[in-house]
Amino acid sequence: MHVAEATPLGRTPTERLESLAAANLRRERRTVRPIDVCSIEIDGRTLLNFGSNDYLGLSKHPDVLEATIEAVRTHGVGSTASALICGRTEWHERLERRLAEFEGAQSAVLFPTGYAANLGTIAVLAGAADTVFCERTNHACIIDGCRLSGARLRVFRRDRLDRLATELDRSKSGRLIAVDGIFSMEGDVAPLRELHELAVRYDATLLIDEAHATGILGETGRGSWESCGIDDDSVIRIGTMSKALGACGGFVVGQTDLTDLIWNTARTQMFSTALPPAVCAAVVTAIDVIAAEPNRRLHVRTLSRRLRSCLADVGIETLGDPEIPIVPVVVGDPKRVVEASSQLADRGFFVPAIRQPTVPRSSDRLRMSLTADHSFEEVERLAAAVADVVSNGGAT
């Protein structure tokens, strides 16, 4: 059989890796040793970590660790089966209830990851005769979910909601608007009030991925939904337990019939092994900490303001909104951003270089993420190092 050379199977893995390397897009497998919430060791060097999504520092909180270890002792490591067979333990049930209560929702359903939650849920909600309206910088798993659903895909921009309104008005099919609450590579909050108004006006379903907002935004930490004042339980909210909740796994909260339907039909839930029970115990405890210690989210939000203002003082532009603990600085091309990241490592900071396809071509960027365990002094030192590397080309 003849295979065209340009197809993936028409080129060897070596050839494909060489193309990636030539474009400065080949990623290294780096091995990291966690030291504490704020530092990691890479290649024998201890670096202050500005790359993790552990926004509240809960991955190493003593209460969370204790609950996890205890649950491993009583329930073992793996859940041993999918939730539909016999993998759903009392810890899964407790976590579903705790998440629903924390989120002010009727009900919750768990997934192995946030990626699987978006993929599986969107594919349940929409079908070939429907239209999904997807914001252009939504996370890959929302885009993949839209594709998997087989629905007609319309991409919109959050700064051109007039065009979205026109498209919604024209569309005759079932409509789903899917959007990130916080955009993970831009650090801004979606215009959710306006999107909610459009969803109501055009009878569309609104789905918000709260991955980076859970535990951070809103008065009680429910996310961007809460901070934008949307109180409508027909809105579907997807979350991950891998960021502010410090563990791993995904969830959906909404009306009970919806979460039951998802539990019954979302293939990424049905055909994948349930989360380890100890992970569920960890997250139940992490939610208790979030409720008991609101200062964590207030501190990380203030740190973001401080970092942004320190960078602005030395003429460095950042993307995003003031209190979002994701602070991106666009460098512009893959080679320069990797160099900038490596020069920051020489100065004792881990700041990841984010390249295409994660962000659009020519907008390669440094992405600093903050945790509640960072101090103002650390953030000020980081700003000085970034200024040195970005403005002065990193002269040592």
* Cβ proximity to ligand PMP, 115 vs 350, nearer residue: 115
Which candidate, 328, 355, 348, 351, places its Cα nearest to that of 340?
351
Residue among 89 and 240 whose Cβ is closer to ligand PMP? 240
CB 181, min distance to ligand PMP, A: 8
What distance lies between CA 13 and its chain's CA centroid?
A: 30
Q: Which is nearer to ligand PMP, 118 or 318 (CB)?
A: 118
Strands 364-369 and 353-354: antiparallel
Min CB(335)–ligand PMP separation in Å: 24
Number of H-type helices and E-type strands within the chain = 14, 14
Q: DSSP letter string over 13-51? A: HHHHHHHHHHTT-PPP---EEE-SSSEEEETTEEEEE--
Nearest residue (CB) to ligand PMP, 210 versus 373? 210
- Between 113 and 285, CB nearer to ligand PMP: 113
Output 250 or 383, the one with its CB closest to ligand PMP: 250
Minimal distance in Å, beta carbon 365 to ligand PMP?
15
Question: Which residues are 365's β-sheet partners?
Answer: 330, 354
Q: Sign (positive/negative) of CA torsion 249, 250, 254, 258? A: negative
CB of 4 to ligand PMP, least distance (A): 34
Min. distance of Cβ 221 from ligand PMP in angstroms? 17
State which residue, 139 or 299, has the beta carbon closest to ligand PMP: 139
Shortest approach of ligand PMP to residue 29 CB, angstroms?
18
Report the residue number, 51 or 250, with the smaller CB distance to ligand PMP: 250
Count of alpha carbons within 13 Å of 220, Cβ hemisphere only? 12
Region for 225 from its dihedrals, namely left if φ exceeds 0, alpha if ψ lies in -120 to 50, beta otherwise: alpha
CB of 74 to ligand PMP, least distance (A): 25
Q: Starting from the edge strand earliest in sequence, which strands make up the sheet with 39-42, in order?
A: 32-34, 39-42, 45-49, 349-350
In the complex, least distance from residue 141 CB atom to ligand PMP, rounded to whole angstroms = 5
Cβ distance 132 to 176 under 8 Å?
yes
In the sheet that holds 326-332, the strands lie side by side as 326-332, 364-369, 353-354
Q: CB of residue 183 vs ligand PMP: minimum separation in angstroms?
A: 8
User: Nearest-CB residue to ligand PMP?
Assistant: 114
Nearest 5 degrees, angle CA 331-CA 336-CA 342?
A: 105
Q: Compute, in degrees rounded to 10, the torsion defined by CA atoms 99, 301, 225, 89.
A: -10
Could you list the beta-strand ranges (E) of 50-194: 107-111, 131-135, 152-156, 175-180
Which chain residues interact with ligand PMP by CB under 6 A?
A: 113-115, 118, 139, 141, 180, 184, 209, 211-212, 240, 242, 250
- Which residue lies nearer to ligand PMP by CB, 212 or 347? 212
Closest distance between ligand PMP and the C-beta of residue 42, in Å?
20
In the complex with ligand PMP, which residue's Cβ is closer, 190 or 383?
Answer: 190
Residue 332's region, left for phi above 0, alpha for psi from -120 to 50, else beta, is left
Residues paired with residue 349 on neighbouring β-strands, in sequence order: 48
CA–CA gap between residue 340 and residue 150 (Å, rounded):
40
